[in-house]
């Protein structure tokens, strides 16, 4: 065989491996959600964002809130259409938002959304927070595990 034929064979093998690797990575890529929670007191309410939602649901600077930071840590975009509380018996309810988010929430990889809910959420330590995407995928977070940050 000539050198050119060996180079062609080598190029065909390398390109086949690269194509296979890209297909496998694309099939394994998925959206994944991380939820962080912390209790905060909002002291700086003098921001220039004079939005409609701020006028309807003003935050009290003397009250403590539970700040939920929902982050897409996966490789694909995700659209969230529901966030709520799941009781130990399976019953579901909405989170007690102080300023409700506008659904659906679209998150690209490494993007996040911050929601504020009443601090009383933390008192329900045996419950779980669930986040559901439009494609039916559901992430469940135990409040007792989130409470370690609080």
pLDDT digits (tens, 9 = 90+) for 59-114: 666 677 788 899 999 888 899 998 888 877 778 887 777 777 788 899 999 999 98
Residues 78 and 133: beta-carbon distance below 8 Å? yes
120 and 60 co-located in one domain: yes
Same domain flag for 81 and 46 = yes
**Whether residue 80 is found in the same domain as residue 14:** no
Q: Is the model's pLDDT at 139 over the cut of 70? A: yes
- Whether 92 contacts 54, CB under 8 Å: no
Residue 12 lies in domain: 1-29
Residues 4, 62 share a domain: no
Distance, in Å, from the CA atom of 150 to the CA atom of 136, rounded to the nearest integer, reads 29
Strand pairing report for 105-107 and 33-41:
unpaired
Q: Do 35 and 24 sit in the same domain of this protein?
A: no
Q: Are residues 40 and 71 in the same domain?
A: yes
Residues 19 and 59 in one domain: no
Overall domain count for the chain: 2
Same domain, residue pair 88 and 123:
yes
d(CA 40, CA 90): 29
Q: What are phi and psi of 140, to 5 degrees?
A: -125, 130
Residue 30: which pLDDT band, with cuts at 50, 70 and 90?
confident
Whether 47 and 120 share a structural domain: yes
Residue 130 has pLDDT above 60, yes or no: yes
Higher pLDDT: 21 or 62? It is: 21
71, 130: one domain? yes
Residue 129: which CATH number? Answer: 2.60.40
Average pLDDT over residues 129-140: 88
Joined tokens for residue 128: 């779980």
Please provide the size of the chain in residues. Answer: 150
Between 46 and 33, residue with greater pLDDT: 33
Residues 37 and 22 in one domain: no
Paired tokens of 85? 């509380």
Same-domain status, 103 and 93? yes
pLDDT of residue 18: 93
Backbone angles phi, psi at 6, to 5 degrees: -65, -40
């Amino acid at each position: 065989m000539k050198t050119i034929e060996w180079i062609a064979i080598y190029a065909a093998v390398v390109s086949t491996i690269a194509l296979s690797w890209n297909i496998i990575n694309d099939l394994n890529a998925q959206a994944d959600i991380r939820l962080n929670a912390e209790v905060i007191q909002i002291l700086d309410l003098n921001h220039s964002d004079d939005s409609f939602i701020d006028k309807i649901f003003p935050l009290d600077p003397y009250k403590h809130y539970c700040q939920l930071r929902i982050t897409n840590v996966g490789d694909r975009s995700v659209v969230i259409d529901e966030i709520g509380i799941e009781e130990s018996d399976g019953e579901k309810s909405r989170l007690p938002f102080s300023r409700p988010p506008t659904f659906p929430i679209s998150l690209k990889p490494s993007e996040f959304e911050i929601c504020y809910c009443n601090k009383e959420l933390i008192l329900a330590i045996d419950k779980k927070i669930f986040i559901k995407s439009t494609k039916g995928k559901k992430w469940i977070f135990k409040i007792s595990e989130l409470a370690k940050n609080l």
